[in-house]
Amino acid sequence: MQDYPPTVIYRHRRENLKKCSLTGLENRPDFQFFSYPTQTLPNLKGYILLDMDAPVLTSDDAGRGLCVFDATWRYAEVMIKQSKSSLNGVLRRSLPKHYRTAYPRKQEDCSDPEIGLASVEALFVAYHIMGRETEGLLDHYYWKEKFIVLNNFVNC
């Protein structure tokens, strides 16, 4: 198993932890959680930030660290703008548009909520594309089975 930089999660303080799809990953050694706005991100040079308007993530990105801003679309935009210094040298990558969310949301600030994946879904897809182990990522995700079936993942 290859050793990767830890996945960095920057979670907005208003994120409802009872509904948060990343709940259960906080104690994994391969993840680092930071709270916005009370904590500052470390330098993420060489990392990839998942972003809907960026080139698509490929297996060529496999050796890089991964960063996810965990918030509503509107909050995430503000977080990104206010984190510019930490995002120096960070590549932005999107996920292929054919993946669909299983998370039942009604978001008015996303132009196409069906392609806006829940954070844990986005991580799962990114890990899959990057050739990383996905075991355990969806263990605490209520809509795990629906997501796997909806996106034709097998043996996950």
Nearest to 112 by CA among 53, 54, 153: 53
The answer to whether position 24 is within a domain reads: yes
What's the farthest any 2 CA atoms get from each other in the chain?
41
- The dihedral over CA atoms of 70, 72, 74, 76, expressed in degrees to the nearest 10, equals 0
Return the amino acid letter for 3: D
The answer to whether position 102 is within a domain reads: yes
pLDDT score of 2:
61
pLDDT score of 156:
56
> pLDDT at residue 1 above 60?
no
The answer to whether position 44 is within a domain reads: yes
The answer to whether position 2 is within a domain reads: no
The answer to whether position 19 is within a domain reads: yes
Task: Give the phi and the psi of residue 59 in degrees, each rounded to 5.
Answer: -65, -20
Q: Sign of torsion, CA 149 150 155 156?
A: negative
Domain limits for position 56: 7-150
> pLDDT at residue 124 above 60?
yes
> pLDDT at residue 39 above 70?
yes
The CB-side HSE value for 1 (13 A sphere, CA atoms) comes to 8
How many domains does the chain contain in total? 1
pLDDT score of 154:
76
Mean pLDDT, the chain, as a whole number? 87
Distance between CA atoms of 141 and 118, rounded to whole angstroms? Answer: 10
pTM here is 0.89
- What's the average model confidence in pLDDT over 56-77? 91
- What's the average model confidence in pLDDT over 70-79? 84
pLDDT score of 137:
95
The answer to whether position 32 is within a domain reads: yes
- What's the average model confidence in pLDDT over 89-96? 95
With cut-offs at 50, 70 and 90, classify the pLDDT of residue 112. low
> pLDDT at residue 34 above 90?
yes
The answer to whether position 113 is within a domain reads: yes
With cut-offs at 50, 70 and 90, classify the pLDDT of residue 19. low
